[in-house]
Each structure stands twice: as C-alpha cells, then as structure tokens.
Amino acid sequence: MLSVEQGTDFVRSDSAFFCRSAKLQLAECGFQANTCRLQLRLLRIQRQTTRYATPEVGSCFTHCFPALTGEGFLVGSAGVATIQTVCVYCSSSERLDRHFREAARLLGRELARRELGLVYGGGSVGLMGEVAREAQAGGARVTGVIPEFMKERELAYEAADELIITDTMRERKQRMEELADAFLVLPGGFGTLEEVIEIITLKQLERHAKPIVFLNQAGFYDPLFAFFERLFDGKFARESYRALYHAAEQVEEALSYLEKYREPEPGEPWFRVS
C-alpha cells in the first residue's frame, strides 16, 4: 500500500495540468493509491521550487514513488501549499493616471515585503515596468516572459533576474501560467483582459486551481463584473463560477486573499452545477 506524508507536494515538469489529489495524480501514473487524500498542486520544475525542496521530502518521495523520480519529476515544497510566485497581468500603457502607477509600485513593494516572486510580461513600460522595478528594488525575484518580437515594443526589462524569451504570445502566457502559483490582475487594456479571461476559463475547465484576484482599483473593473453578472443571469455561465476569481480594492487585501487561498475540496468547488 502506498502512502504519502501529509503536506508533501509533487512537481511534474511536463504538464501544466492541475490535479486535486495524490490519488488522481498517482492513478494517472498507474499507482494504486487509495490511502492518499492529499491536496496537491502540480508545479513546473523551476528555480523557485528547487529552492524550497528539502532532502527529507526528496527521500520520502523517492521511497514512495520511485517511478516518478526519473527525468521530468522532482519534489517540490513541503507543507501547506503557500504561494511563492505571483503572476501579475497589467497595462503596458505609459499614459495612465498617477494613482494607477502608484498602486503598481505599492504592489511591487508588497510582493517584496511578503517575500513573493513576480512573474510578468517582461516589459519595462506602463504598470508592468512599475511593478517589476519596485519589486526588484525591494528584493523580490523578478521573472519576465516576453516574445522575441515584443522585446523592442515593450522595452524588455533586461535587468530582470530572469528574462524568458518566447517565440509566440501563446507561449508567453503558458510560461507565465506555469511559473506562477497565483494571479493578480491590475488595471489593464485588451492584453490584460485577454490574459485574465484565459486564466479564468482554464480554471473553469479545471486545468489549474490557482487563485485569481482582480485589483478593482477605484471600481476600474466594475463594468466587467457587471457584464459577468449578465453571463450568470442569462445562464451563459454557472453561478458557482463566481468563485473562480475574487475582487479586492486594496493591494494588501488582494495579496492577503492570494496567500490565504486554499484549493477547494474535490467535488465542492466551482465545478458544481448550479
């Protein structure tokens, strides 16, 4: 009989697929693991996760699941599934009111203060640049993900701790998603909307279960939420899908939501028909 210590996470490199429990994860790999009732997140192999891996967890993992420890599998963080890296979607515009830029800078400082890493679009323009520079100045690890053809247009932030260059926009979004444990949406334009709607729909389809929060600064996203209500009212979307995302008015509130977020129990969450 296989068992796993409470609080152990797995990392699987070849998938961005979210799996709710060890049982599912192991069943997928051909294991009988009825004793496992462990909430797991599947994280990509990445620097941040190896940093948190411990020898104890590693040996437990190797002992219990030798077949999973070959190439492509790695042990991730142990303990409660706390977030380490936040993906920020936000405006690339240089023409925004001062209070939007100030909120982006506050977010950068708060990420650093809470020892959270930043993953973002890799530009130095608009709110993207504000949050990245401030986060890095405070000591946060900053990872930018930018397509080659956007490097000039969005003035790639070469000073980032890591600048990942992709071929396409799609690849950019995928890398950002894989590298992050949570998503925070600052005010933004079409690009930001495109990114957040995709991450919500992927959660709706249970491709991930990471927290998503909008910074609804001065009601910026109220019209979007009003439109979402039309979707619920008209039964274009299930009422339970409201739980896919959260809105916060303050930066601190938004980050606290992400940090306190706990993945729903299997069978419970937004997937329920209503």
DSSP string spanning 122-164?
-BSSHHHHHHHHHHHHTT--EEEEEEGGGTTTTTB-TTSSEEE
Q: Which is nearer to ligand AMP, 132 or 258 (CB)?
A: 132
Residues 5-64 that bind ligand AMP (CB under 6 A): none
CA torsion 145-149-154-159 (nearest 10°) is 50
Taking CB under 6 A as the criterion, the residue among 150, 209, 213, 251 binding ligand AMP is 150
Which residue blocks in the chain are alpha helix, DSSP H? 22-28, 47-52, 55-64, 98-113, 126-137, 169-179, 190-204, 222-233, 251-260
Supply the minimum distance, in Å, between the C-beta of residue 193 and ligand AMP. 7
Amino acid identity, position 14? D
- Compute the distance between CA of residue 153 and CA of residue 188 in angstroms, rounded to an integer: 17
Mark residues 184-213: x for contact with ligand AMP by CB under 6 A, - for none: ----xxxxx-xx------------------
- 203 neighbors 148 (Cβ within 8 angstroms): no
Nearer Cβ to ligand AMP (117/144): 144
Tokens encoding 92: 């690339």
Give whichever of 8 and 136 is closer to ligand AMP, judged by the CB atom.
136
Q: Compare residues 139 and 189 and give the one whose CB is closer to ligand AMP.
A: 189
Among 141, 172, 208, 210, binds ligand AMP (CB under 6 A): 172
Rounded to a whole number of angstroms, the minimum distance from the CB of residue 85 to ligand AMP is 18
Residue 253 binds ligand AMP, judged by CB under 6 A: no
Number of C-beta neighbours around residue 222 at 10 A: 11
Contact set with ligand AMP (CB under 6 A): 91-93, 121, 123, 128, 150, 154, 169, 172-173, 188-192, 194-195
